[in-house]
Structures are given as C-alpha cells and as structure tokens.
C-alpha cells in the first residue's frame, strides 16, 4: 500500500495525517507547543520546538504505514517571520501573525498611503500581522538584530532547511509576507529596498507543487522513511483548508469559525479591493484565493462562557454537559435578532473587514427587558454579522456565492449553524471534514507525484455533508437589523481609537 502524509504547522500545534492514495486516514498525530506572550503585544513561538513537533508528528503517523510513503506535504500558518544567522541558526523566535508589535508601522503606512501601495502589489492588507511591517518595526526598534540577520524566512522555510539544507519558499506563502509582487511572482525590489533588505536574504521562490529531495539521512532514519522521500512544498493553511473543504469551484465560498474566523473563495485571476479589505494571493494552476480573516470567531463565545456565564460553566460540569451546549440552549429561547440587542464582536481588535486594531466590542440597544440570555445570543449573532460583512466585501469583488461551505468548532452548535444560513440568507453546507488543512496538503502531494491531475480529486475524499436552509422569519429579523449593525460600527470608528488609547493608559492588571 502507498501513502501520503499531510502536515499542518498551525499556531497551537502541528498535526500530521497519514492517508492512503484513496484518501483513507490511517494515522493522526497532534503535537502542541507554547505561544510566548511576555508582553500583551507579543506572540512568539520557538522555531526548534515547532521543528521537533513536526518530526514527532511525522514519525508517529509513519509508524502506521505498512508500505511506501510516496510524499509528505505541508499546510502552514501564514505571516510568520524568523531571522537566521549565516549558519541558518535562529536569531529570533517565530514572530507569528498574532504578534502586534509592528502596529505603529502598519498604522503609519496606512495613513501615509504607502500601505495601500504595498497592498496593490502584494495583496496583503495593511496590518501588523504582515512580515513586511514586522521587518520595518525590527529595523527601527531592534536595529542591531536587524543588521545581524543574514536570512529572513517563515517557519516552514526554517523547518524545511532543517530537513534539506535548502532555503526555498513557495509562492502562496511568500505572497503573505507582503514582500512578493503577485503580478510578477517575484520578490518586489522596491519593497525590499524600502524595508532595507536584499533578495539574497530571502529564500528562492518555487511552485507549491515542487518537491524537495535529499532528506538529511539521520532524520530519515529517525522518522522511518527513505532519504529519497520527496517533500512537497505545499501552500498556506488558508488555501489548503479551502481545498480540503472542497470549496474549489467558481463562487464556492468557505466560512470558518474556529477560534478566529475567515471567509474565502478561489478565483481565476487576481482581484484586489479598492479599499484594501480583502487579501488575494496565488495558489496554483492559475487559481487565486481571495478572502478576509477575522480575529473574533469562536473566541467570542469563549469569552461569553468564561466571563458572563462562569456559574453556568460550573452547572454544566455537574450536569456532565459541554458548557457551550448549555449556553446554546439558553440562547435558543431568545428570538432571532435578540429583541434588538446588537453586539459588535471586536474583543481583540479586528482584521477583515474593518482592519482596525483599536476596534473594541460593544452591546448596543440594551433595554430593561434584556437579559444575559439576550447577550449570549447577540454575541453569537454579532460574530456572524461580522463575517457576513466580510462576505459582502468579497461579493463586491467576485460576485454572488453559488455555494457556502462552513467549518470549525462553531458547527457543533445547531443554533449557530442555523444563524449562519439565516444571516447569509443562503443554504450552508457543512462537510464532516477532518483536518481540512492536512487534506488540502495531501491533495497537493497527489498532484505533485502525478497521482492526480488537479485539485478536484479532493471531492472524492470528502465525507458526508449536511445542508442547512435559511429560515424566512429569522432572516427577516436579521435583514432589518443589519443596517443598524453597520451604521453603529461606522459611527464608532473615531471612538475606537479613543477607548483603545484610554485602555493603554489604564491597563488591566493582567496586561501590565
Ligand atoms: P481552532 O480554531 O483552535 O482550531 P475549533 O475549530 O475547535 O478551534 O474552534 C473552537 C471554538 O469552537 C470555540 O472557541 C467555541 O467558540 C466553538 N465551540 C466549541 N465547541 C462548541 C459547541 N459545543 N457549541 C458551539 N461552539 C463551540
């Protein structure tokens, strides 16, 4: 029997799945690592901890292969930055997408028009998550480190260096740095000059389906695969999750609500947003991905659970129930639209569609008749309203969706699934997908080794799907509420800066 391994290097863990060429799952491993947050703005990981997790995950799944592993391929977290010395040893930890320390640089370039120029060449919205902004911050605040650094890479490039001693980066990942010109498919000389680095400090650019061979023999032995096993470069976790959900056709939109969230779709040519609200980057075979990531997905429900319903969390424990299920039962009793209570879910600033790190959450419309039950329902609705506004921005660029697929932890709640269909006024299909990023990586591997012609092969691997139809009485309520949701958000824009500044001046004890 032949096998392929799909690996997903995520923010909390690295997962590996062993597949047969027919898409059957024969092994799974999930290796966690810590996120270092010494200050509220920092979000770093250790490159060697991630490398070790990758080796362990791969070793564990390979144990289940009673035949040949034909290829290994990678889905990876986006926007990470690692500085290496001349011997390719890390000089920094992995500065992840969640790190906010280049906020000043992003804001400044957003205001002076440079940020939009970068967006128009790279498809990367103006945000501190982008390595281009991180480099500008390091150049200013850590100039010695900046000048010492010989190479700048992302976490996948470092992991692959440890495996192969080759410094290569595929174009989907490179596009998410804000340093690659997506129209020329090459590092952008003007941006590099502006940042103060040169092309020889960056990896060589290759296609996502290209292969690396010549695995370090010691590692090959340790993992239990031949040293000539090809590793396929892979692509971003966003693009591969999209493929793994089977949302690959024109107008097929995938919505994710995990801890964070996203709305994405594939298109046939690059499409930028005049307001810079959506990202766009190349994947493969003339397919591009366009979409918007949101910070405030399931994490909002977690906040409601822990901060508004702490006693119920205890009750749920006694009842041997998942607290989220108990809260869903409470929210279910309130009508759609929460009797006019609106929640803006910006608890952690927001990326798409408003791209405002200073945005903050708010309840609007409270009356004496509103209860905590209204607040939990409004919070769930607010998360979906926000994602719907991303979908509206996307729609301006690529037209109406033909299919909406959804995934993530939110799908465990029937109420939340239905809300998505109602607020989007569109049927929503939820596949019983398992680790869609790994499945996407596996699909790319099959194409790379010639076992599949294109990504449509993934349709054969996707299990059962359920579809939820919008409920006409619910969507009428939401449709009436949406304009108010939008206009309140717009009116608060200036106040977001003020309240965020106040909070910085008066930090919560846990943030000092
Ligand atoms: P991640 O994004 O870290 O991979 P998940 O996709 O598992 O995580 O999503 C986690 C989120 O899913 C939680 O923050 C919570 O909002 C939501 N969630 C988990 N279980 C339930 C449930 N039973 N009902 C509703 N939402 C849930």
pLDDT for 350-383, tens place per residue? 999 999 988 999 999 999 999 999 999 999 999 9
301 Cβ below 6 A of ligand 1: yes
Q: Determine the atom of ligand 1 nearest the C-alpha atom of 416.
A: 25
**Ligand 1 within 6 A of 281 CB?**
no
What's the predicted TM-score (pTM) here? 0.92
Residue 88, Ramachandran bin (φ over 0: left; ψ between -120 and 50: alpha; else beta): left
* 433-481 tens-digit pLDDT: 789 999 999 999 999 999 999 999 999 999 888 999 999 999 999 999 9
Cα–ligand 1 centroid distance for 325 (angstroms): 11
Who contacts 275 (Cβ-Cβ below 8 Å, separation ≥6)? Answer: 393
Mean pLDDT of 43-59: 98
How many whole angstroms from 435 Cα to the centroid of ligand 1?
14
Best probe residue, ligand 1, of 97, 295, 298, 312 (max atoms within 8 Å of C-beta):
298
Render 486-508 in DSSP notation, one character per residue: HHHHHHTHHHHHHHHHHHHHS--
**From residue 265, how far is each of 238, 249, 269 by CA, in Å?**
10, 8, 12
Tens-digit pLDDT profile for residues 397-424:
899 999 999 999 999 999 999 999 999 9
Instruction: Give the Å distance between the CA of 412 and the centre of ligand 1.
Output: 8
Answer yes or no: are the C-beta atoms of 148 and 85 closer than 8 Å.
Answer: yes
> CA dist 154 to 77, 200, 411, 414, 431, Å?
9, 15, 31, 38, 31
pLDDT at 357: 86
In a mutational test of the pocket of ligand 1, which residue from 300, 324, 328 has the highest number of ligand atoms less than 8 Å from its CB? 324
Q: How far is the CA of 409 from the centre of ligand 1 (A)?
A: 3
Tens-place pLDDT, residues 149-187: 999 999 999 999 999 999 999 999 999 999 999 999 999
The CB of 379 under 6 Å from ligand 1? The reply is no
Mutate to test the pocket of ligand 1, among 97, 299, 300, 301 (most ligand atoms within 8 A of CB): 301
Q: How far apart are CA 440 and CA 53, in angstroms?
A: 20
What digits encode the pLDDT tens for the residues 300-327? 999 999 999 999 999 999 999 999 999 9
**Is residue 259 in contact with ligand 1, taking CB distance under 6 Å?**
yes
Backbone angles phi, psi at 42, to 5 degrees: -85, 145
Ligand 1 centroid to Cα of residue 304, in Å, is 13
**Which residues pair with residue 74 across a beta bridge?**
7
410 CB near ligand 1 (under 6 Å): yes
* Largest separation between any pair of C-alpha atoms in the chain: 70
- 198: buried, middle or exposed (CB in 10 Å: 19+, 13-18, 0-12)? exposed
CATH of the domain spanning 2-245, picked from 3.40.50.450, 3.30.420.40, 3.40.50.2300, 3.40.50.300: 3.30.420.40
Residue-averaged pLDDT of the chain: 96
Contact 93, 82 (CB under 8 A): yes
Distance 258 CA to ligand 1 centre (A): 5
Average pLDDT over residues 259-265: 94
Q: 18-42: per-residue pLDDT in tens?
A: 999 999 999 999 999 999 999 878 9
pLDDT higher than 90, residue 232: yes
Residue-range domain boundaries for the chain: 2-245
Nearest ligand 1 atom to the CA of 260 is: 2
Give the CA distances from residue 445 to residues 1, 206, 450, in Å, rounded to whole numbers and listed in that order: 16, 15, 9
First-to-last alpha carbon distance for the chain, in angstroms, is: 56
Between 78 and 512, the higher pLDDT residue: 78
């Amino acid at each position: 029997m032949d096998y392929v391994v799909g690996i997903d290097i995520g923010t909390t863990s690295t997962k590996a799945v062993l597949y047969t060429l027919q898409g059957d799952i024969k092994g799974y491993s999930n290796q966690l690592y810590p996120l270092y947050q010494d200050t509220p703005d920092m979000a770093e990981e250790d490159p060697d901890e991630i490398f070790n997790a990758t080796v362990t995950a791969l070793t564990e799944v390979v144990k289940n292969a009673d035949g040949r592993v034909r290829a290994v391929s990678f889905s990876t977290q986006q926007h990470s930055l690692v500085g290496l010395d001349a011997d390719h040893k890390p000089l920094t930890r992995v500065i992840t997408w969640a790190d906010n320390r280049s906020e000043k640089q992003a804001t400044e370039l957003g205001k002076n028009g440079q940020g939009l120029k970068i967006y128009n060449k790279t498809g990367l919205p103006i945000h501190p998550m982008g390595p281009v902004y991180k480099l500008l911050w390091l150049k200013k605040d850590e100039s010695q480190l900046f000048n010492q650094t010989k190479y700048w890479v992302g976490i996948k490039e470092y992991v692959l260096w440890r495996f192969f001693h080759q410094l290569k980066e595929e174009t989907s990942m490179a596009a998410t740095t804000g340093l690659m010109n997506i129209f020329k498919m090459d590092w952008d000389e003007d941006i590099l000059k502006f940042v103060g680095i040169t092309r020889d400090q960056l990896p060589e650019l290759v296609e996502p389906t290209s292969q690396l061979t010549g695995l370090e023999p010691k590692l090959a032995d340790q993992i239990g695969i031949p040293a000539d096993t090809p590793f396929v470069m892979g692509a971003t976790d966003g693009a591969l999750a999209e493929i793994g959900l089977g949302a690959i056709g024109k107008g097929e939109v995938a919505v994710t609500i995990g801890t964070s969230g996203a709305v994405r779709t594939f298109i046939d040519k690059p499409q930028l947003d005049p307001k810079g609200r959506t990202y766009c980057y190349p994947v493969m075979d003339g397919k591009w991905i366009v979409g918007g990531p949101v910070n405030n997905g399931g994490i909002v429900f977690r906040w409601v659970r822990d901060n508004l319903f702490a006693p119920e969390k205890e009750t749920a424990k006694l009842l041997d129930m998942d607290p989220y299920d108990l809260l869903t039962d409470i929210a279910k009793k309130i009508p759609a639209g929460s009797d006019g209570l609106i929640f803006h879910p910006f608890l952690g600033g927001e990326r798409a569609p408003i791209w405002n790190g200073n945005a903050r959450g708010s309840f609007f419309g409270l009356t004496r008749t509103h209860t905590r039950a209204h607040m939990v329902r409004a919070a769930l609705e607010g998360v979906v309203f926000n994602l719907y506004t991303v979908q509206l921005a996307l729609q301006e660029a690529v037209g109406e969706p033909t299919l909406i697929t959804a995934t993530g932890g939110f799908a465990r709640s029937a109420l939340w699934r239905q809300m998505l269909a109602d607020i989007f006024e569109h049927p929503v299909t939820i596949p019983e997908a398992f680790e869609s990023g790994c499945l996407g990586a596996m699909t790319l591997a099959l194409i790379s080794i010639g076992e599949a012609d294109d990504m449509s092969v993934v349709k054969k691997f996707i299990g059962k799907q359920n579809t939820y139809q919008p409920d006409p009485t619910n969507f009428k309520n939401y449709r009436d509420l949406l304009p108010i949701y939008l206009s309140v958000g717009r009116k608060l824009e200036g106040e977001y800066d003020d309240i965020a500044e106040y909070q910085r001046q008066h930090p919560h004890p846990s943030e000092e």
